[in-house]
């Protein structure tokens, strides 16, 4: 008996440790997974040259990321990701240092970075900015208000914060030298200029009907202030720019009524140029101007050149001006020709201080043209045509020009309307970065069809009845023979690939794909590892191939700023016909649905049943979320959808019924569920699309069964109640068919500043939150398991599940302390649901943590294990989930800004495909129960072949001997 107990204890101990050994082999890192790093759309970008390392592009993005990009390869040399609630407002480089200014809560943070390594040199948190000025709100939201200037002679960093505060920091250690705050609430500062031991801050002061320019002058040593107002009247901050400084005087240029005016800082002298004299006389291309002049700073440091752009009758044009440093008058350097296309401009200067200007525009659907101009004797230095897809990236929005180190060519960083970056050098596209993926809103897996379904052998399946009647059996037979003859050209490649596949054991790609002339590439592989990943960004759709390190298959830019995409659904799986997708797009008062061909990104227009769902459709209600129902329309095999509200802290859920499937699209409200006063939705879980149930019950140690509660309409909703103090978390399990509550749990004293995450699959619900209770303060994860009854072998009376039944599920629950904060929760899915489930947690440390269902099991006993518990392979309850590094699926990778985790089954039952997306993308394969259906890598196929051939050889040798012996035995 003692031996039996020892044996049972050892077995249970081994079962416990089996779950801990789920790490990745070192030789599999980067082989079965891939990681794409992004930074977001650049807000500030500039070329920065290092003495010994060449040129890099330093970028501050709208995803609050600082980065250094290698201009040769486009790879990130370094990256610093800020918190989501810390916005980067300014970024500027000087020699081997870069200064950033960001705002978090009410504090401004100034940091100094080593440009070539991204190492932080110092940090200074500036508090109480804008406290003495209660209304700094002049101008638009995009008005500067924050700026950095380097005082090279004094080794100082001058910063303008929130348009109210000017601060001087030590360049070496960041310590504050002096600070000046304006107290006039009618004045907002926009620009800083440093020249000859003085600092000038230029801003606007509110008058009765317009704004007046105000200049504050500071002594760079002690910050003593002197204020000067200029005689001016400005309607908008964009009508004014400030140039110069550092090595020469600064100038203010502004447009006032029908004049352009110039003031040299620290003087009251104002030069004036009437606009009428410029139109058609000095600048011929301005003769057809029909709009307002726009002043653009070319960001040339201390230089005084700037650009004036104006719309015309035929399109737009621009001219380059310069303020003469001596006289202060405006000089026209170059007049661009009038062009019908929208143009973007950028400028730089070469080693000889010659001004270089670029003009970039889209001249055709797949062509962008770049003109490089140097005002002077040689006007046009180059004109290049670049490959550029307007359908994929939209129009050009911004460019940054630079002369390469050898002064033999020109290079340019271009930002497109979708947020992507393009690096051009002369006439060549060096690299592109699909930064729109940093703004992914939703993503879905798309199963690819089998290759055999895409040959001429099944063409007749897509034939119309009228066409099938006209084809004779002989013609159909000839077509089939011709198909097989055409396939013979792939036979050599197939045999070679088959041998390679057998030797290496790599079954990810079909052998036929190695044929160079194979026309068909988008089909699934042997084990189903190859799928398409469809991403929805704000205004764009992108498809990536999982097998080719996330290579882009197609992309489509919709180019409309009025509405944004919200959701994507695969409404028809792979068949002989292309599978379309439904995308949700929100407009002001309606919701728009698009149905696309998922393999090309084009609108899907069916050849038959044209009266059904069109490729574009409008619904006269605003919807934030769509749920796909398991109901298929018989003719087109498309799924029906349900609508639900989640965002904007909604306080109610509604269910709708679709009345018609043709335009106009009518919906009827079926039920509405309102939450109590003070409760707002914090998170909603829903079932994965690929959920499969392998077993209807859970077998206990005594061979009895707890039958699972499998309600396809179940949805888990978490709400936060702020009406109570402290905040409480409410978790509802709701039947969405009729809107009834199946279970309600309350957690008191919950931290409302931390997010709540929830996920569900099969009969499991798991959620994560922050608890403020004194005895369990920290992160908590709770897991539910729903059964039809608490009593084993007892089921509902109805043989068929129905939401109209009155029975409620039995909920088995267990809570555990969790070591980390969580940004998202995912659950592995496999083909038949046989493999053990694994919960995937996106940690706030930018890693992915995988925990087996056996660890997060609500049935883990809080007592000594019985023989039945051991038979059921249960593990004793431990209130804390261990911080085991072997459970980190992402090994050493840092996956920034994780927003969601989605999974999809492969054809192998053991394997689940996992996609993690947010700022970065990470794709991997996970086998929670190990790869039990695939031979291991150390299995010796060579030994097996030698054994088989040896047996065959032995049979061939011994067979004649045995036959001879049998014959001889009959004679003797």
Q: How confident is the model at residue 814 (pLDDT cuts 50, 70, 90)?
A: very high
Least trusted range by pLDDT, from 42-56, 317-331, 694-708: 42-56
Q: With left for phi above 0 and alpha for psi between -120 and 50, is residue 161 left, alpha or beta?
A: beta
Strand partners for 750: 771
| pLDDT higher at 520 or 233 | 233
Q: Check: CB of residue 683 under 8 Å from CB of residue 714.
A: no
The pLDDT, as a whole number, for residue 570 is 72
Q: Flag whether pLDDT at 502 surpasses 70.
A: no
Confidence of residue 692 (pLDDT cuts 50, 70, 90): confident
Per-residue pLDDT, averaged over 674-700, amounts to 87
Q: What is the pLDDT of residues 355-392, one digit of tens each?
A: 999 999 999 889 999 999 988 766 888 899 999 999 99
Structure confidence at residue 53 (pLDDT)? 64
Across 675-752, where does the E strand assignment appear? 679-685, 697-699, 705-707, 714-721, 728-735, 740-747
3 state DSSP class of 113: strand
At 112-139, the pLDDT tens digits run: 999 989 999 999 999 988 765 655 455 5
Task: Look at strands 410-416 and 421-425 and give their pairing.
Answer: antiparallel
CA distance 516 to 352: 51
pLDDT in tens, 503-526: 666 655 444 443 333 344 678 888
The C-alpha atoms of residue 556 and residue 170 are separated, in whole angstroms, by: 48
pLDDT, greater one: 400 or 226: 400
Instruction: Read off the pLDDT of each residue in 206-215 and give the average, rounded to a whole number.
Output: 86
CB-based contact 667:644 (threshold 8 Å)? no
pLDDT reading at 12 higher than 70: no
pLDDT, position 645: 47
Which of 281-285, 466-470, 566-570, 893-897 has the lowest average pLDDT?
Answer: 466-470
Q: Is the pLDDT of residue 725 over 60?
A: yes
Q: Report the range of poorest mean pLDDT among 22-26, 70-74, 465-469.
A: 22-26
- Alpha-carbon span 892 to 55, nearest angstrom: 29
Question: What end-to-end distance do the CA atoms of the chain give, in Å?
Answer: 64
Backbone torsions φ then ψ of 152, nearest 5 degrees: -65, -40
The answer on pLDDT for 317 being more than 60 is yes
Q: What are 953's two structure tokens?
A: 């050889």
Cα–Cα distances (Å) from 449 to 506, 508, 549, 616, 791, in that order, read 20, 15, 20, 25, 45
Which residue bears the tokens 């190990």?
930
Summarised one tens digit per residue, pLDDT across range 194-204 is 988 899 999 99
CA 192 to chain centre: 35
Residues 6+ apart with CB under 8 A from 172: 155
Of 441, 421, 440, 439, which is closest to residue 431 (Cα–Cα)? 421
Q: What pLDDT band is residue 699 in, cutting at 50, 70 and 90? A: very high
Tell me the three state secondary structure of residue 292: coil
Min mean pLDDT across 97-106, 347-356, 385-394, 579-588 is at 579-588
pLDDT at 573 over 80: no
CB of 142 closer than 8 Å to CB of 85: no
Structure tokens at 416: 């497109």
Higher pLDDT, 669 or 764: 764
Name, of 302-306, 452-456, 510-514, 916-920, the range with top average pLDDT: 916-920
Residue 401 CB partners (closer than 8 Å, separation 6+): 346, 347, 348, 356, 357, 358, 372, 410, 411, 412
Q: What is the mean pLDDT of the chain?
A: 83
Tens-place pLDDT, residues 936-955: 777 887 888 899 999 999 99
CA dihedral sign, ordered 927, 932, 935, 940: positive
- Bridge partners for 156 per DSSP: 151, 170
CB atoms within 10 A of CB 833: 18
pLDDT at residue 234 is higher than 80: yes
- 216: CB partners within 8 A, 6+ apart: 166, 180, 182, 189, 200, 201, 203, 225, 226, 227, 228
Indicate the range of 301-315, 455-469, 829-843, 893-907 predicted with least confidence.
455-469
Residue 607 pLDDT:
62
CA-wise closest residue to 22 among 884, 824, 874, 831: 884
pTM of the predicted model, to two decimals? 0.87
Distance CA 686, CA 693 (A): 16
Average of pLDDT values for 149-158?
83
Give residue 380's pLDDT.
85
Query: Pick from 370, 375, 379, 362: which is nearest to 412 by CA?
Result: 370
| Residues 727 and 743: beta-carbon distance below 8 Å | no
In this prediction, residue 21 carries a pLDDT of: 43
Q: Which residue has the tokens 């980190």?
A: 888
* Continuous segment of H or E residues that includes residue 7: helix 2-18
Q: In this predicted model, which residue has the larger pLDDT, 695 or 637?
A: 695
Nearest alpha-carbon partner for 205 in 262, 255, 132, 135: 135
Alpha-carbon span 723 to 721, nearest angstrom? 6
Q: For residue 259, what pLDDT is reported?
A: 87
- pLDDT, tens only, 733-768: 998 888 889 999 999 999 888 999 999 999 999 999
CB of 58 closer than 8 Å to CB of 943: no
Residues 6 or more apart whose CB falls under 8 angstroms from that of 500 comprise 506, 511
What is the sign of the dihedral through the CA atoms of 594, 597, 602 and 606? negative
- Ramachandran category for residue 373: left, alpha or beta (phi over 0 → left; psi -120 to 50 → alpha): beta
Give the SS3 label for residue 349: strand
Asked if the peptide bond before residue 491 counts as cis, ω within 30 degrees of 0, the response is no
Residues 788, 792: Cα–Cα separation, whole Å: 9
Burial (CB < 10 A; 0-12, 13-18, 19+), residue 619, is buried
pLDDT of residue 856: 94
Q: List, for residues 90-99, the tens digit of each pLDDT value.
A: 999 988 899 9
Radius of gyration for the alpha carbons in the chain, expressed in angstroms and rounded: 34
Mean pLDDT of 48-64: 82
Question: Percentage of residues in the chain with pLDDT exceeding 70?
Answer: 82
Residue scoring higher pLDDT (490 or 902): 902
Q: Which of 471-475, 520-524, 575-579 has the lowest mean pLDDT?
A: 575-579
Question: Comparing 689 with 350, which gets the higher pLDDT?
Answer: 350
* pLDDT score at 27: 65
Distance CA 36, CA 916 (A): 11
Question: Out of 395-399, 487-491, 755-759, 869-873, which region has the weakest mean confidence (pLDDT)?
Answer: 487-491
Nearest-5° angle of CA 90, CA 94, CA 96?
A: 115
The DSSP string of 610-674 is TTSS-SEEEESS--SEEEEEEEE-TTT-PEEEEEE--TTT--EEEEEEE--SSSS--EEEEEEEE
CA–CA dist 919, 81 (Å, integer): 9
**Residue labelled with tokens 């830019």:** 557
Backbone φ, ψ for residue 885 (5° rounding): -65, -20
- What percentage of the chain exceeds 90 in pLDDT? 46
Token code pair at residue 494: 């197939």
Least confident segment among 158-172, 265-279, 877-891, 897-911: 265-279
Q: Per-residue pLDDT averaged across 708-712, rounded?
A: 90
The H or E element that residue 78 is part of is strand 76-81
Which of 407, 331, 337 is CA-nearest to residue 376?
331
Nearest to 200 by CA among 246, 142, 257, 231: 246
């Amino acid at each position: 008996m003692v031996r039996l107990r020892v044996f049972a204890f050892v077995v249970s101990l081994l079962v416990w440790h089996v779950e801990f050994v789920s790490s990745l082999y070192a030789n599999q890192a980067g082989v079965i997974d891939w990681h794409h790093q992004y930074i977001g759309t650049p807000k500030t970008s500039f070329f920065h040259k290092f003495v010994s390392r060449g040129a890099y592009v330093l970028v501050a993005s709208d995803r609050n990321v600082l980065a250094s990009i290698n201009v040769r390869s486009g790879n990130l040399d370094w990256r610093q990701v800020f918190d989501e609630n810390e916005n980067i407002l300014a970024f500027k480089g000087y020699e081997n240092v870069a200064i950033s200014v960001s705002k978090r809560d009410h504090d401004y943070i100034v940091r100094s970075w080593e440009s070539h390594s991204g190492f932080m040199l110092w940090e200074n948190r500036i508090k109480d900015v804008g406290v003495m000025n209660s209304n700094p709100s002049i101008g638009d939201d995009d008005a500067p208000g924050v700026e950095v200037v380097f005082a090279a002679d004094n080794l100082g960093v001058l910063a303008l914060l929130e348009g109210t505060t000017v601060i001087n920091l030590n360049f070496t250690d960041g310590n504050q030298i002096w600070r000046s705050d304006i107290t006039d609430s009618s004045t907002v500062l926009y620009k800083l200029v440093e020249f000859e031991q003085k600092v000038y801050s230029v801003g606007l002061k509110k008058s009765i009907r317009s704004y007046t320019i105000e200049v504050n002058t500071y002594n760079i040593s002690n910050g003593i202030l002197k204020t000067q107002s200029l005689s001016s009247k400005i309607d908008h901050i964009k009508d004014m720019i400030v140039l110069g400084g550092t090595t020469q005087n600064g100038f203010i240029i502004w447009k006032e009524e029908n004049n352009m005016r110039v003031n040299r800082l620290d003087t009251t002298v104002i030069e004036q140029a009437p606009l009428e004299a410029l139109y058609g006389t000095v600048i011929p291309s301005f003769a057809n101007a029909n709009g307002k002049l726009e002043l653009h700073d070319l960001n040339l440091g201390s230089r005084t050149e700037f650009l004036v752009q104006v719309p015309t009758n035929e399109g737009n044009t621009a001219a380059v001006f310069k303020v003469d440093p001596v006289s202060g008058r405006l000089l026209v350097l170059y007049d661009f020709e009038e062009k019908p296309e929208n143009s973007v401009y950028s400028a730089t200067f070469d080693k000889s201080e010659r001004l270089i200007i670029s003009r970039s525009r889209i001249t055709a659907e797949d062509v962008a043209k770049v003109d490089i101009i140097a005002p002077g004797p040689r006007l046009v230095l180059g004109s290049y045509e670049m490959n550029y897809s307007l359908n994929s990236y939209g129009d050009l929005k911004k460019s940054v020009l630079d002369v390469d180190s050898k002064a033999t060519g020109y290079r340019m960083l271009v930002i497109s309307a979708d947020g992507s970056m393009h690096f051009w050098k002369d006439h060549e596209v060096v690299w592109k970065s699909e930064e729109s993926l940093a703004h992914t809103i939703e993503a879905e897996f798309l199963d690819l069809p089998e290759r055999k379904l895409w040959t001429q052998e099944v063409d007749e399946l897509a034939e119309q009845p009228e066409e099938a009647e006209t084809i004779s059996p002989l013609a159909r037979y000839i077509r089939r023979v011709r198909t097989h003859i055409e396939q013979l050209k792939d036979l050599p490649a197939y045999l070679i690939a088959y041998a390679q596949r057998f030797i290496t054991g790599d079954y990810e790609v079909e052998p036929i794909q190695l044929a160079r002339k194979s026309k068909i590439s988008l089909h699934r592989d042997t084990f189903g590892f190859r799928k398409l990943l469809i991403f929805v960004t704000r205004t764009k759709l992108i498809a990536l191939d999982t097998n080719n390190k996330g290579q882009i298959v197609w992309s489509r830019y919709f180019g409309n700023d009025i509405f944004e995409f919200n959701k994507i659904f695969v409404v028809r799986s792979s068949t002989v016909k292309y599978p379309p997708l439904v995308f949700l797009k929100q407009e002001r008062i309606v919701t728009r649905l698009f149905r696309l061909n998922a393999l090309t990104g084009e609108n899907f227009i069916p050849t038959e049943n044209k009266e059904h769902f069109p490729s574009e459709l409008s619904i006269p209600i605003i919807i934030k979320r769509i749920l796909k129902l398991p109901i298929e329309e018989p003719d087109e095999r498309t799924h029906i959808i349900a609508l639900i509200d989640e965002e904007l802290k909604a306080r109610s859920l509604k269910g709708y019924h679709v009345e018609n499937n043709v335009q106009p699209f009518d919906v009827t409200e079926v039920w509405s569920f309102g939450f109590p006063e003070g409760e707002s939705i914090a998170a909603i879980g829903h079932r994965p699309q690929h959920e499969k149930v392998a077993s209807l019950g859970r077998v206990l140690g005594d061979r009895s069964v707890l039958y699972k509660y499998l309600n396809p309409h179940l949805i888990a909703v978490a709400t936060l109640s702020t009406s109570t103090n402290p905040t409480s978390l409410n978790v509802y399990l709701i039947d969405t068919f009729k809107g009834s509550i199946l279970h309600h749990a309350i957690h008191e004293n919950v931290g409302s500043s931390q997010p709540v995450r929830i996920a569900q699959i099969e009969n499991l619900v798991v959620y994560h939150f922050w608890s403020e209770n004194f005895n369990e303060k920290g992160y908590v994860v709770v897991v539910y398991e729903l059964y039809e009854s608490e009593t084993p072998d007892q089921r509902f009376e109805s043989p068929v599940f129905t939401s109209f039944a009155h029975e409620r599920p039995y909920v088995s629950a267990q809570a555990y302390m969790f070591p980390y904060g969580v940004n998202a929760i995912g659950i592995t899915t496999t083909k038949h649901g046989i493999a053990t489930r694994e919960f995937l947690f996106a940690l706030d440390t930018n890693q992915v943590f995988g925990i087996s269902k056996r660890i997060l099991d609500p049935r883990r006993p809080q007592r000594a294990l019985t023989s039945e518990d051991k038979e059921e392979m249960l593990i004793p309850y431990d209130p804390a989930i261990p911080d085991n590094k072997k459970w980190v699926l992402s090994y050493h990778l840092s996956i920034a800004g994780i927003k969601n985790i989605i999974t999809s089954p492969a054809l192998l039952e053991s394997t689940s495909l996992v996609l993690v997306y947010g700022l970065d993308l990470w794709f991997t394969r996970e086998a929670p129960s190990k790869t039990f259906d695939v031979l291991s890598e150390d299995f010796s196929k060579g030994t097996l072949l030698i054994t088989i051939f040896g047996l065959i050889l032995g049979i061939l040798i011994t067979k004649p001997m045995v036959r001879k012996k049998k014959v001889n035995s009959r004679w003797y």
